[in-house]
Chain A
Amino acid sequence: MRIGVLSLQGGFAEHISSLTKLNAEAFEIRKKSDPIGNIDGLIIPGGESTVMRKLLIDTELFDPIKSLIRDGLPVFGTCAGMILLAKNTADNPMGGFDGIDITVKRNAYGRQLSSFMIEEEFADIGRIPMTFIRAPYITTVRSDVRILAIVNGTKVAAENKNILVTAFHPELTEDLSVHQYFLKKILMNKAYFR
């Protein structure tokens, strides 16, 4: 499977390493000439969402990725990636890919002193380690969105048709189960569209 990892800023190397451990072919997407048309899935990593959004527009990657998402490309966003994929952001609307009908709140738990690690249930997987770094959480969802994990009463992972989002960073732990979940989602998605 060929997975592009958006590599404009943030924790992209960690995602590539997780995917490589799962024997997926992972490579960086940095500019328009990179082969975004020829991928089975895309990961939007953690980092600063404001930075990534600006660089997406500057590199003219924003529109092509937005249409790929609309056409059903499976995309997995962690932390800043979740913010960019959400339909709405609660605090200051920034206009992202509108991939999944959720509203997210940025820096929802507070500053770095409030970053935390926890083990919690993730749908269909079981208990996994979750690392939250100045993380967002989901405030509201539409009915076609499935909530995958709840931590301390806050919604932290969700999916709909082709989009998977987590407020935490599976790529920062040794646990590969969420990446595996995404790869499985791609396979199911492929079968569905065929």
Chain B
Amino acid sequence: MNLGTIVAFEIRRAVKHPVYLFIQLILPLLLIFILGTALDSVFTVKDEKLETVRVALVQQDKGEIGAELDKWLRLPAAADRIRLEPAASRSEAIGRLRNGTADFALVVPPDFSASVLRGGSAKWELIAGGDSGKNLAASVIFQSMLDRLNDRQAVSLALGPGLPAGQPAMQAATPDAGSSAGSFVKIGQLAAGKPYSAMQYYAASMLIMFLLYAGMFTGIGLAEEKERHTLARLHSTPVRPWHILTGKLTANFLLAVLQAVLIIGFTSAVMGVDWGASIGAVAFACLAVILFSIGLAVLVLSFTKGSGPMNVVFQLVIGVMTFFSGGFFQLPEGMLSRIGEFTVSHWAFQSILNSMLGRTDWQPVAIVGVIAAVFLAGSFAVYRKAGYYE
């Protein structure tokens, strides 16, 4: 009975607090709308067909490698992507770029073969045209070829005179000679499967971030009750101590669930966010984040005094976890995103994105559940320190 009284009173206190309502309901919706609208173009992924690039080739190298290069450039794998148009000089090539009869230019210097055969590095000049897409395609082809040539050169030098430096290098650099790929250009499909929009991305990340704030408000609420002596007064009433703490945590849990329902419902109905078919996974991820955040609040409250430290700790934890999980912006593959795998935000985010993308992968859902369970168990172990007066 008293548990219900405490839960009802806590909910009334929260909803009468304009700052709480703004932060927990209005702010996430505003951020989802602003970020989703402003960054929409960044998230729009579409496939573009690669067109053949007309390359003005200024071949000044008459050596062995120059000949090999000519041969390589005329191989079908390269010829699919580039069409060579010989030019007599660098200035002629630039002129062609200017008048639009060429898209890109390659200038092979006269000492190219000599330099490579002497053991020097392979260098040539790439001159970009006016089409950035074609520039990119041609640069990738020539640069990768040059990189392979340099790699091979380095191997030859390292292994000694047994392996002739120049010629095998060019042979190895040709796609037919050493590469199983068959081409330096791998045609992929960027927009493979179902893409997600910026609105979806930020709806998921902001939902997780603001559900984490539920724990912060729980913790601050309890810390303030200690500071304002109302917790002591509650303990002087005929209510079991664990009812007091459980009542306050339950109220905040219910408020966070309501917050999640409102955010998902509003973004779905008004902003057109598709949360996907796995609504069970989304709901589970949300519940796990709420429980994690409340468990964290109890743990932090056990080791800190006052609402100030609680605020600082939570702001820091939420900010760091949201950043590393890619909640503010998409992180490139690598160290940063790997750090994100140690956060609950990452796994909750992946659970929701999977639902949005129509993927069936229960691993992130299971991980977020385990993390929440661990924190909840930890909070049970120390809850006496957090919610008791003495």
Do A and B interact with each other, yes or no? no
Q: Which residues of B contact A (CB under 8 A)?
A: none
